[in-house]
């Protein structure tokens, strides 16, 4: 059994295998095993659990929610909860891996988000994350880290290989319409689908903003507790918000800065840069 960790240090360096980077560049997603230890995760999980319940966006009973609401308990801005959640979200260990996968000098925080799939929770419809993001770069990536062991019967995400190279496939945001549209597209184009489960707490997947993905329903009695952190390449600028979802994100997650401005608001700190290692 791992020793308890009183205050995890998430700023140290994790050595990423070149094979993982190659896989990510080919497929638009990958898994990094043991990015955090189970002991580290056990130390931060109580704060993240508490923050998730305090900041969750939909408090209706599961049976009263729509498809999107049944997919997960969702809470953003977890880093604001306490020092523990802030150290996790702004951990340089994770951000450096994100930068190495993207092949960029540095990455900024877009936002963090807890996604807890409840016992009996529904499936996550097919979607592309970056349809929400008014940024002028495709150098974007989401880290998805389970805080509990995730066996195959619970499941992680399913990815459509290579879709990261195709850009915006639809303006549909996540929901019933995106599920119908992308199910048809996957069938018509015969895309290969991949998943990386099962997972141990502290494993993490990474996928680009345009990588098409979904997740199965949770038919078990176990809460699938997951924390995500979204990064984008330092130097990106804000684009015109020609979609209501992108306009909302510009206000929520980019400090309300105007289109054309560098995405450097106070809520988008530089989490890791090569110069930090000098």
Closest Cα to residue 157, out of 102, 98, 190, 206?
A: 206
Instruction: Give the Cα separation of 208 and 232 in Å (integer).
Output: 10
Tell me, what's the pLDDT at 179?
97
pLDDT per position in the chain (278 positions), as tens?
445 556 788 999 999 999 999 999 999 999 999 999 999 999 999 999 999 999 998 888 888 898 888 888 999 999 999 999 999 999 999 999 999 999 999 999 999 999 999 999 999 999 999 999 999 999 999 999 999 999 988 878 999 999 999 999 999 999 999 999 999 999 999 999 999 989 999 999 999 999 999 999 999 999 999 999 999 999 999 999 889 999 999 999 999 999 999 999 999 999 999 999 87
Structure tokens at 78: 């977890």
Tell me, what's the pLDDT at 1?
40
pTM for the full predicted model: 0.95
Cross-strand pairs, 230: 111, 142
Tell me, what's the pLDDT at 58?
84
Domains of the chain, first to last: 19-261 (2.60.120.620)
Question: Could you check whether the bond before residue 172 is cis, i.e. omega within 30 degrees of 0?
Answer: no
Radius of gyration in angstroms for the set of CA atoms belonging to the chain, rounded to a whole number = 18
Closest Cα to residue 268, out of 110, 105, 106?
A: 110
Tell me, what's the pLDDT at 4?
52
């Amino acid at each position: 059994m791992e020793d308890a960790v009183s205050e995890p240090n998430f700023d140290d360096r994790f050595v990423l295998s070149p094979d993982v980077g190659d896989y990510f560049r080919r497929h638009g997603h990958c898994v990094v095993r043991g990015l955090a230890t189970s002991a580290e995760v056990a130390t931060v999980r109580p704060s993240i659990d508490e923050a998730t319940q305090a900041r969750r966006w939909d408090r209706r009973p599961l049976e009263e929610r729509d498809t999107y609401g049944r997919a997960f308990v969702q809470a953003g801005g977890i880093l604001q909860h306490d020092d523990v959640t802030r150290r996790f979200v702004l951990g340089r260990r994770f951000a450096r891996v994100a930068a190495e996968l993207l092949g960029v000098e540095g990455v900024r925080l877009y936002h963090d988000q807890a996604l807890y799939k409840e016992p009996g929770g529904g499936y996550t419809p097919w979607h592309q994350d970056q349809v929400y993001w008014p940024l002028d770069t495709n150098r974007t990536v989401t880290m998805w880290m389970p805080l509990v062991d995730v066996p195959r019967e619970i499941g992680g995400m399913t990815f459509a290989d290579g879709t990261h190279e195709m850009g915006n496939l639809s303006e549909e945001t996540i929901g019933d319409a995106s599920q119908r549209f992308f199910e048809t597209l996957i069938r018509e184009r015969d895309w290969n689908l991949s998943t990386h489960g099962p997972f141990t707490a502290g494993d993490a997947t990474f996928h680009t903003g345009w990588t098409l993905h979904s997740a199965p329903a949770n038919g078990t009695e176990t809460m699938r507790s997951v924390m995500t952190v979204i990064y984008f390449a330092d130097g990106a600028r804000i684009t015109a918000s020609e979609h209501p979802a992108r306009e909302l994100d510009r206000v929520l997650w980019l400090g309300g800065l105007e289109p054309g401005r560098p995405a450097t608001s106070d809520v988008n700190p530089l989490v890791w840069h090569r110069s930090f290692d000098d």
